[in-house]
Amino acid sequence: MTHVTEGPGLRPQRTSELASEPKAGRKGGYQPWTAGDSRADRGSRKRTVTYADAGVSIHAGEQAVERLKSQVHRTQRPEVLGSLGGFAGLFRLDMKKYRSPILASSTDGVGTKLLIAQAMNVHDTVGLDLVAMVVDDIVTCGAEPLFLLDYVACGEVLPDRVAEIGAGVALGCQTAGCALIGGETAEHPGVLAPHEYDLAATGVGVVEEDELLGRDRVEVGDVLIAMGSSGLHANGYSLVRHVLLGAGRLRLDSVVDDLGDQRTVGEELLTPTRIYAKDCLDLRAESDVHAFAHITGGGVPGNLVRVLPRHLDAVVDRSTWRPQPVFDLVQRRGRIDDTEMESTFNMGVGMLVVVSAAEADRALAFLRGRRIEAWQAGEIIEGSGTVKLLGSYAGG
């Protein structure tokens, strides 16, 4: 999103100044040019096919970057070198700060939630989703997200729309504490319709080798603490669109009483994904955290199992929380069974924390002090590396 070739400082030496080059106008030679001057003599040349005729506007890309600069600058960290417009984003890792640093990386996108944003012409929230999907994967191993690079593919680069998307990405990076150091905006006419776009991002973080979190730290008697989600987040939207907007016959501007607060279906579906990175890192500094599980596609069972040793099970008590109304709406409209719901959606839990039993109360108090909805949701027992969901959801 933030990469484009910019004029100032990038003008090449005129080729006619080089003795070995053919002179301008000589047969077999060529007319030298200077970047940024192509519009100056347009009227004196015969009309030829341009890149814009094929549907790609370099000028629109430059405009989009200009509108993003102030947003991107707000995400900068002291380690960031250079500015927008280069070929690579530069980040100086302070090696004096770490004993044995391990880099952690993640790549993700937003999926078909983008179709909701495009249909509603609301583009300033999906950037938050994008950042959340990347940085909250990185933080699960205890790594601090350092920087992120994004990629936007558009059917047509509309500067205002790209700026809206970028504002969301920048805000997400600020929330996560990482820098947005570069990216790419690509115009793909013929592949995407003018109103269509897709998003992806890659993030990099760092953690001390002896502080890595994960299944090697999980023990019998550990407690599971759930951190509430903000709703659907950015998973399962192909199924959501099918049952609500297809067979469900709802419209994005429909007001459904079940959702409360006179919210439309579209507003509910565009609720941004909660970003947990800073809260997880601060919690880890305050408590004896053994593992984090980011609850995305696959739900609680499909993601919690990724931090379980083969000889242990996780027991999750559904009665400790009540999923948001949107999950019930999707399930009823689609006549979806419980197993399918729980293997597709987060069901109200965005992040699970595995802590020692002695630290559970301390961890809960810390999270609640940060105004994060959190509760004790289960425990770790002897077993065979499986996740067991017991009981019924509160209020169900």
Domain shared by 231 and 368, yes or no: yes
Domain shared by 244 and 379, yes or no: yes
**In this predicted structure, which of 93-97, 215-219, 327-331, 360-364 has the lowest mean pLDDT?**
93-97
- The residue among 185, 211, 237 that closes a domain is 211
Total number of domains in the chain? 2
- The residue among 194, 211, 228 that closes a domain is 211
**In this predicted structure, which of 17-26, 284-293, 384-393 has the lowest mean pLDDT?**
17-26
Of 18 and 201, more confident: 201
Question: Per-residue b/e over 283-298, b at no fewer than 16 CB within 10 Å?
Answer: bbeebebbbbbbbbbb
| Amino acid 355: pLDDT | 98
DSSP-based three-state secondary structure for 246: helix
Give the global pTM.
0.84
Average pLDDT (266-288) is 97
Question: Structural domain of residue 102, as residue ranges?
Answer: 58-81+92-211
Domain shared by 159 and 247, yes or no: no
Average pLDDT (348-365) is 97
Torsion-angle region of residue 258: left (phi > 0), alpha (psi -120 to 50) or beta? alpha
- With bands split at pLDDT 50, 70 and 90, how would you rate the model's confidence at 6? very low
CB atoms inside a 10 Å sphere around CB 380: 24
Say how far apart CA 293 and CA 106 lie, in whole Å: 14
Say how far apart CA 298 and CA 137 lie, in whole Å: 14
Domain shared by 343 and 232, yes or no: yes
- The residue among 211, 230, 260 that closes a domain is 211
- On the question of pLDDT at 5 being above 50, the answer is no
| Tokens read off for 16 | 């006619």
Which CATH number does the domain housing residue 323 bear? 3.90.650.10
pLDDT digits (tens, 9 = 90+) for 173-206: 999 999 999 889 999 999 999 999 999 999 999 9
- Residue 370 lies inside a defined structural domain of this protein: yes
- Residue 132 lies inside a defined structural domain of this protein: yes
Of 263 and 85, more confident: 263
Domain shared by 203 and 295, yes or no: no
- Residue 48 lies inside a defined structural domain of this protein: no
- With bands split at pLDDT 50, 70 and 90, how would you rate the model's confidence at 23? very low
Average pLDDT (221-240) is 97
- Residue 301 lies inside a defined structural domain of this protein: yes
| Amino acid 297: pLDDT | 94
Say how far apart CA 178 and CA 133 lie, in whole Å: 14
| Amino acid 25: pLDDT | 43
| Tokens read off for 144 | 């601090």
- With bands split at pLDDT 50, 70 and 90, how would you rate the model's confidence at 77? confident
- Cβ atoms of 15 and 21 within 8 Å: the answer is yes
- pLDDT over 90 percentage in the chain: 72
Which residue's entry shows tokens 């994967």?
137
Domain shared by 229 and 314, yes or no: yes
- pLDDT over 70 percentage in the chain: 82
Domain shared by 130 and 146, yes or no: yes
Domain shared by 201 and 230, yes or no: no
Domain shared by 196 and 241, yes or no: no
- Cβ atoms of 189 and 155 within 8 Å: the answer is yes
Domain shared by 199 and 108, yes or no: yes
Which CATH number does the domain housing residue 64 bear? 3.30.1330.10
- On the question of pLDDT at 334 being above 60, the answer is yes
- With bands split at pLDDT 50, 70 and 90, how would you rate the model's confidence at 80? confident
- With bands split at pLDDT 50, 70 and 90, how would you rate the model's confidence at 86? confident
| Amino acid 203: pLDDT | 98
| Amino acid 60: pLDDT | 61
Domain shared by 222 and 203, yes or no: no
- Residue 16 lies inside a defined structural domain of this protein: no
Question: Which alpha helices (H) appear in the chain, and where do they start and end?
Answer: 58-73, 113-120, 126-138, 159-176, 237-240, 265-269, 277-286, 299-304, 325-334, 338-342, 360-369
Bridge-based pairing state of the strands 387-390 and 312-317: parallel
Average pLDDT (334-343) is 96
| Amino acid 17: pLDDT | 36
